[in-house]
Structure 1
Amino acid sequence: MTKFDKYLLSQLLTLFGFFSLVLVAVYWINRAVGLFDQLIGDGQSALVFLQFSLLTLPNVIRLVLPVSAFVAAVYCANRLISDSELVVMQATGFSSFRLARPVFGFGVIVAGMMLILMNWLVPASRTVFEERSAEISQDLSAQFLKEGAFLHPSAGLTLYIRDISARGELLDLFLTDERSKTERTTYTARRALFLRASEGPKLLMFNGMMQTLDTKTGRLSVTHFSDFTYDMAAMIAPAQSRNRSRAELSTRELLYPTPAVLQETQSSAAALRFEGHSRFAQPLLALSSAMIGFASLLLGAFSRFGLWRQILAATVLLLVVQSISTVATSIGGTSEDGWILAYAAPMLGLLLAGGELWVSQAPRRLRRLGGAA
């Protein structure tokens, strides 16, 4: 690498790191707010919220990196043109393609980051996220042991706890069991403890009363107790085997789906194959985004009014490429050969960038032809 390549690459990486940090923070905080309301509202601790927030981070970074690469390329090119640095390099004989060489290298670095994220980090984090979500859904103490509220853990059960002491004791408990068609049982206790046993969660009540009403005869029987154990397994829905989503599958499973994987995801082989190729196409989209941003600004010369036209053109081209990617995603999984469409948007982006670089050299070629004539 020449000094110019190292200089431009260092500028691009510095700006890329800055914009990535800002965009990831904004996007992550926006998602974390909704996650905070959901988890804390369900009685989860701040540690659980932190775990879930970190598990969503790889996917957030995956979404942000192409945009950061584009913004870094546009900002860097705009600054170099404003400072006449690129003009000087062009005067020494550097072609537009030669100027874009470090930008291409920068795009390859970003694409490498995307490959690691999409093929390893995002599927792994998604799997852990779903597993932790399933565990929390089975966490009875976090969901139902809340003070000062009438809760309905399942059909026919009503639970109320006046207060929960610092030692974890449930004070002034009220529990109604109406699941039976022939009787209704109400439990009250001065205090209770929630116990986790090998055969399931138990509720140990002290100094209480059990009232059983026979709904057919209307007879009410009352039993006082000093301690009583109630099986709370009915409050928890039985754990079911969890099927993985497409985002959790490995790239190999997506590219070569087995009948078991097709049944697990309830998807077609074409849809899974398209998803697998998308994990290689999306990194190329980050490369094309950087190239479009840099090449578009080379179309303009230094101006006191700035390069806002070229920046607008680069943004429009990027939106066009993203639109094609969206359309390809919607129709690519409907046919056996639809996986080819996964590469349509990044290839178009690279062709557009190459065309812009070629056009940016047109005035210089015309001047040479005019001089030769």
Structure 2
Amino acid sequence: MTLIQRYLFRQISLPVVAACAALAGIGILSQSLDQLEVIVERGQSVWVMVKLTLLALPQLLSVILPIGLFVGALIALTRLQREQEMTAAFAGGMTRWQVISPAARLAVLVALVTLFVNLFMLPWAQHEARRQAFAIRTDLAALLVEEGQFVQGPDGLTVYVQQIEQNGLLKNLFVYLDDGKKVTTWNASEARFGRAGGVPVLTLTDGSWQQYSSNGVLNYLSFDNYTLDLTPFAGTTEVIRYKPSDLYLRQLLNPSPKLLETAGSRGELLAEAHSRLSSPLYALVAMALALAAILGGAFSRTGYSLRIAKAAGLFLLVRVIGYGLVAASAWNAWMNILQYVVPILAIAVAMRVLFRALKPRRSRRRRAGALKARTA
């Protein structure tokens, strides 16, 4: 790139990065608010909430990168055109393609980043998020403990905790177990869930144990420390069920019979695969429409609000159509080709507007005078 092209690339890329960062920040904030349920209702730590929020970031990036590119490019190009820096570049002998090449390179770079996110970061993050959600859903500490409530577990188990501290320490615990033959209770001033030898246990401190058998015998024991084995209550028949968005590209294109049973039909997986490959094209659509809105018409000192509104509306329409095609392609495999055709067609239309010859408009009076001169 020449010196002027490097300058244009820098002037366009900075607002694009700022717009993407702002949209990502809003998305992360929204995700963190949704994940508060993990702490409030599931009793998990703040670190688990942060981890789930960050794991949702690749999915956010695949959506916000084209939008951030479009918004940032419009801001940068409007400023450059209003300050007549683009006009100075044209006056210096640069062709239209030489002027827009920095923006085109930035769009290609964003498209490559989006493709990398779709093919590698997104499935890895979705896999980890699904496993973490499964672990939370099957966590004994979350299933058996609720502050100030009697929680009924499996096989006649009932647990009550007066207070749960942030570090996971349980205060004033009561455990009741009725297996049909005998009734056993535990009381402890403090307790904590953990694992010993690979099995889940509940470690009780400063408490007592009572057992009342069916023959009327009562046994009593006080203890400083007691380890309650929770293995009989930890069994679960649930398995992790993945969605098409959780799978890698090779799994989408060549799914195993097990994935077809759990993740979705072959058509749904194939539609998701083509969506991963075609969605980076919308970064090129965003930049092409932004360039067409600012440079695709005559210079205006009053701004380009109408042209920007038309470009934004067209970009929104094309993106919505793209999402609709993903859903429709799950049941009609031939429509997968349209996932590529629609953005390519939008790019072609925008480039046609950008490179069209700008013909000066003549007033009606001048046209009428020219027509009269021809007939005279």
CA contact (8 A) 1:169 1:192 kept: yes
CA contact (8 A) 2:8 2:102 kept: yes
- Of residues 271, 275, 280, the one that matches 1:274 is 271
1:288 paired to 2:285: yes
Q: Secondary structure at the match of 2:209?
A: strand
Give the unaligned 5+ runs of structure 2: 363-376
Distance 1:200 1:271, change over 3 A: same
What does residue 261 of structure 2 align with? 263
Counterparts of 2:166 and 2:316, CA distance in 1: 56
Distance 1:52 1:365, change over 3 A: same
Counterparts of 2:121 and 2:5, CA distance in 1: 30
What does residue 120 of structure 2 align with? 120
* Partner amino acid, structure 2, of 1:271: E
CA contact (8 A) 1:296 1:314 kept: yes
What does residue 358 of structure 2 align with? 362
What does residue 106 of structure 2 align with? 106
Distance 1:142 1:168, change over 3 A: same
Deviations 1:106-148 (CA, angstroms, capped at 9, x unpaired):
1100001001100001111111222222233343235534543
Deviations 1:69-124 (CA, angstroms, capped at 9, x unpaired):
10121111111111112223334554544432222111100001001100001111
Q: Which moved more, 1:320-329 or 1:127-136?
A: 127-136
CA contact (8 A) 1:270 1:338 kept: no
Q: CA deviation at 1:253?
A: 2.0
What does residue 210 of structure 1 align with? 211
CA contact (8 A) 2:74 2:290 kept: yes
1:197 paired to 2:196: yes
Q: Secondary structure at the match of 1:100?
A: helix
Deviations 1:284-314 (CA, angstroms, capped at 9, x unpaired):
1111111111112223433342111111111
| Equivalent residue runs for 1:1-373 within 5 Å | 1-92=1-92, 94-154=94-154, 156-163=156-163, 172-177=172-177, 185=183, 187-191=185-189, 193-194=191-192, 196-198=195-197, 200-203=199-202, 206-211=207-212, 222-226=218-222, 230-238=228-236, 240-265=238-263, 267-359=264-356, 361-363=357-359
CA contact (8 A) 1:174 1:186 kept: no
Counterparts of 1:303 and 1:168, CA distance in 2: 64
Q: Secondary structure at the match of 1:337?
A: helix
Q: CA deviation at 1:10?
A: 1.4
**How many pairs are equivalent?**
358
Q: Which moved more, 1:2-11 or 1:256-265?
A: 256-265
Counterparts of 1:144 and 1:186, CA distance in 2: 17
Q: CA deviation at 1:209?
A: 2.4
Counterparts of 1:103 and 1:168, CA distance in 2: 52
Counterparts of 2:166 and 2:262, CA distance in 1: 45
Distance 1:165 1:6, change over 3 A: closer
* Partner amino acid, structure 1, of 2:209: G
Distance 1:30 1:321, change over 3 A: same
Q: CA deviation at 1:346?
A: 1.5
CA contact (8 A) 1:144 1:151 kept: yes
Q: Which moved more, 1:289-298 or 1:165-174?
A: 165-174
- TM-score scaled to structure 1, two decimals? 0.84
